Chains A and B, each alone.
Chain A
Amino acid sequence: MTRTPDMPVHIRRDRFEPAPELGRLRTEQPVSRVRLVTGAPAWLVTRYEDVREVLGDSGRFGNSEDGRPAGAPPLRVPDAEAEVPRLWSPGNLLAYDPPDHTRLRRLVTGEFTVKRMRRLRPRIEAIVTEHLDAMERSGPPVDLVQSFALPIPSLVICELLGVPYTDRADFQHRSNIRLDLSLGLDRRVAAMREAQEYMAGLVAAQRKRPGEDMLGMLVREHGDEISDEELTGLADLLLIAGHETTSNMLGLGTLFLLRNPGHLAWARQDEHIDAVVEELLRHLSIVHTVIPRVVRADTVISGQPLKAGDLVVCSLPAANRDPALTADPDRFDPGRKVSHLAFGHGIHHCLGAPLARMEMRIAYPALLRRFPALRPAVPFEEIRFRMYSVVHGLESLPVTW
């Protein structure tokens, strides 16, 4: 395995905390020079107001460059003759600017409204209960990541989309490779291609016989507004985003609460859970940075001139812990009422936020009520955090009760 221990500052963490240098940069050099994992130089933006400014202005800071996501290298895969022009498939909302972004996103926003999510609630509750029952049957110790944090969001997004859950071992393995920044690009691209072939097969089947799920709905109601390629990329993005993110919040968030018994009591109570979830989102900010943006025309952020064509990444943990946003920002305090940026900002603001919130609001209290004596089964020092992933989280969390 090719482990690269020297991740750039915007990805490095010390367990629950962002790298201390990040805080220093925010004070001393709010817009600084970094290298992306691909090696490309970029500006790192760390202040709350600056991050809102960049993400809030898709005209000045775009997501796509020559038809590719900004910052994505024009790839050469060793065994391929021709250059692979795209790292991401068409249909990936994160790689689009208006008006195409607007057109594509509109097709799916109706599926993620607060009302739609509420209709899903009983099904999510049932899925949570099934997994808690299974944990109880197998008895301690169990790995909370494999038996709870990962399967719940995974099953939910599979059912919602219309992806057979029985295929999960394969696509979970592929998505781990794709998001692992320590692996060579050739391996990651190979995994991406396999994933696209898999999804293209599902899309073709839905075109023939549209199901009752989201893919079926897209084919039935918007079939002529979206190409097969776009549909494949969109579904692929939803599948990855739907379980790589919430699952990390469930694992990391549970460990955080177990280490802070004072907050545990709050998390068990339905009347406080919304506030606890929002503060966990802010405090943990599991998405290190938004994907790179490209500067469209020369501009200035916090006094730093940026040139057209430069790349910009925004650190979400740095922005969410900016003292200009809230007092004593490194402390966990569910009593805060702040507009955090854990789901991003601007037109690419997380599409799945209402779903992710609903999953977390159901899952944490259900877990903590079912197992009141839940605790890590190994010393804290032995718990493995994900150090090389686009999204922060835990490799595994052995628990007992």
Chain B
Amino acid sequence: MRVHVDRDRCIGSGNCVMTDEEVFDQDDEGKVVLLENEPGAGHDEAVRTAVASCPVQAISAARPAR
């Protein structure tokens, strides 16, 4: 999946980091940092959970069109 994060919206809840630390991280101000913008299929479920549990809808994910 191709993941996109909107750092302006992010309020630093950490929900995404707790869901998948290989894909999401936080900087010193707590804002989300994307570690992988196209994580493998093994991360699909976690990414979907992160999208749903972000309190401010700052994460979106879609299958890359290929």
* Interface residues, chain A, with chain B CB atoms under 8 Å away: 55-56, 105-106, 109-115, 117, 337, 339, 343-347, 349-350, 353-354, 357
For residue B29, which residues in chain A have a CB less than 8 angstroms away from its CB?
106, 109-110
Tell me the bound Cα distance from A112 to B11 in angstroms. 11
15 A–B pairs (Cβ distance < 8 Å), ordered by A:
A55-B55, A109-B12, A112-B12, A112-B30, A114-B17, A346-B56, A347-B11, A347-B55, A349-B56, A350-B13, A353-B15, A354-B13, A354-B14, A354-B18, A357-B18
Across the interface, A349 reaches (CB within 8 A) one of B11, B17, B30, B31, namely B11
Closest-CB distance, B10 to chain A (whole angstroms): 9
Tell me the smallest distance from the CB of B5 to a CB of chain A, in Å. Answer: 15
Q: Is the interface of B mostly helix, strand, loop or mixed?
A: loop
4 extra A-B contacts, CB within 8 A, seeds A109-B30, A110-B28, A350-B13: A112-B14, A113-B28, A115-B26, A349-B13
Report yes or no: B55 in contact with A344, Cβ–Cβ below 8 A. yes
| Residues of chain B within 8 A of A345, CB atoms compared | 55
> Contacts A106-B29, A110-B28, A110-B29: A339 and B52 contacting too (C-beta < 8 A)?
yes
Q: How far is the CA of A345 from the CA of B57 in the complex (A)?
A: 10
Residues of B within 8 A of A354 (CB): 13-14, 18
The proximity string for B residues 18-33 relative to A, scoring 1 for CB distances below 8 Å and 0 otherwise, is: 1001000110111100
B residues contacting the other copy or chain, number (CB 8 A):
20
Number of interchain pairs (Cβ within 8 Å): 62
**Measured between C-beta atoms, what is the minimum distance from B4 to chain A in Å?**
18
Q: Quote the shortest CB–CB distance from B50 to chain A (angstroms).
A: 10
In the complex, which residues of chain A have a beta carbon less than 8 angstroms from the beta carbon of B14? 112-114, 117, 353-354
Top 4 closest pairs, chain A to chain B, by CB: A109-B30, A109-B12, A349-B55, A339-B53
A114 surroundings in chain B (CB, below 8 A)? 14, 17-18, 21, 26
Smallest beta-carbon distance A178→chain B, Å: 26
Please, how many angstroms separate the alpha-carbon atoms of A347 and B28 in the complex? 19
Which residues from chain B contact A105 at a C-beta distance below 8 Å?
11-12
A49 vs chain B, min Cβ distance (A): 12
B49: interface (CB < 8 Å): yes
| CB-based nearest A residue for B13 | A349
Closest A residue to B15 using CB positions = A353
| B11–A109 CB distance below 8 A | yes
Report chain B residues within 8 Å CB of A339.
49, 52-53
In whole Å, how far is A117's beta carbon from the nearest beta carbon of chain B? 8
* Those of B19-63 within 8 Å (CB) of chain A: 21, 25-26, 28-31, 49, 52-53, 55-57
Residues of the B chain whose Cβ atoms lie less than 8 Å from the Cβ of A115: 17, 25-26
Tell me if B12 and A113 are in contact (CB < 8 A).
yes
* Chain A residue at minimal CB-CB distance from B45: A337
A56, A110, A114 — most chain B CB neighbours (10 Å): A114
Write the chain A residue with the least CB distance to B10: A109
Cβ distance A98 to chain B, nearest Cβ, rounded Å: 10
Contacts of A337 in B (CB 8 A): 49
Choose from A113, A346, A349, A353 the contact partner of B26 (Cβ within 8 Å): A113
Q: Kindly provide the distance from the CB of B6 to the nearest chain A CB, expressed in whole angstroms.
A: 13
Whether A353 lies near B30 (C-beta < 8 A) is: no
A357-B13 Cα distance, complex, nearest whole Å: 12
- Measured CB to CB, the closest approach of chain A to B31, in angstroms, equals 8
- Contacts of B21 on A, CB cut-off 8 Å? 114
Report the separation of the CA atoms of residues A353 and B19 in the bound assembly, to the nearest whole angstrom.
13
Residues from chain A with a CB closer than 8 A to the CB of B17 are 113-115
